[in-house]
Amino acid sequence: MAQIKLPSKHNHPSVGDNLTRYYHYPFMRFFFLRRLTMALEFLNGRRFDSMLEIGFGSGILLPELSKRSSRVFGIDIHESIDKVKEMLKKEDINTILTRGDILHLPYKDESFDCVISIATLEHIKELNGAIFEIKRILKPNGFAVLGFPVANKISDLLLILTGSRRAYQKNLRDIHPSGHDDILAEAKRQFGNIEVKRFPSYLPLGLSLYCSCMSKKTN
């Protein structure tokens, strides 16, 4: 697995369900980091003028994105954005972070060369609106890179084992109302082109754990 630039463990804040810690645990970190590297592989060494990460969470990917773009933006709905800003300041990473909703992105049409969103779309019921917004803010020939779990019993078990508090309080399909098939179908419908990766790559998509895709805005 390719090495990526991560925040220092002592700077890395905990947000939401406190899954941050797994990026620094032996064994577990392999899966969590693989979610990131799968998405980054689509970029194939490209450098962009502007990138947006939707659902940046603890900010784990922002240091790596800052190596790939002159201007990096991030948007998330959680209330711990100040913690992430503090971490980025300590890491000497320049980004512009905003609290907001994927269904109402506060950016003008054709603002970004690349939009990346990992572990976000599975939480969204209104996929039509979410992917429409992603496409709207992309420049012509811009790239959308999306990552999400494969919906099956194995990934459900992994969600519970990682200690998600909500997994014990709610039905798992309430946490992840959109499955991988739904996301892939909507991305293909709106963009018309899609390239897909899965992990592990030797398993059929329906039996794998995680999926990433890339689409290019051509119209």
Which pLDDT band, with edges at 50, 70 and 90, does 168 fall under? Answer: very low
H or E, element range at 98: strand 96-99
Span 47-98, pLDDT tens digits: 999 999 999 999 999 999 999 999 999 999 999 999 999 999 999 999 999 9
Q: How many residues can be counted in the chain?
A: 219
> What is the structure's pLDDT at 161?
59
CA distance 151 to 180: 6
β-pairing verdict for 48-54 and 69-76: parallel
Span 5-41, pLDDT tens digits: 888 888 888 886 666 777 777 777 888 899 999 999 9
- Specify the CATH superfamily of domain 19-216: Vaccinia Virus protein VP39 (3.40.50.150)
DSSP annotation string for 164-175: -HHHHHS-HHHH
CA distance 23 to 207: 24
More confident residue, 152 or 105: 105
Span 108-158, pLDDT tens digits: 999 999 999 999 999 999 999 999 999 999 999 999 999 999 877 766 666
Whether 126 and 180 have beta carbons less than 8 Å apart is answered as no
* pTM of the model as a whole: 0.90
Domain layout of the chain by residue ranges: 19-216
CA distance 91 to 7: 7
Of the candidates 41, 50, 47, the one whose C-alpha atom is nearest the C-alpha of residue 138 is: 50
Of the candidates 159, 208, 212, the one whose C-alpha atom is nearest the C-alpha of residue 28 is: 159
Q: For residue 173, count CB atoms less than 10 angstroms from its CB and return exposed for 0-12, middle for 13-18, buried for 19 or more.
A: exposed
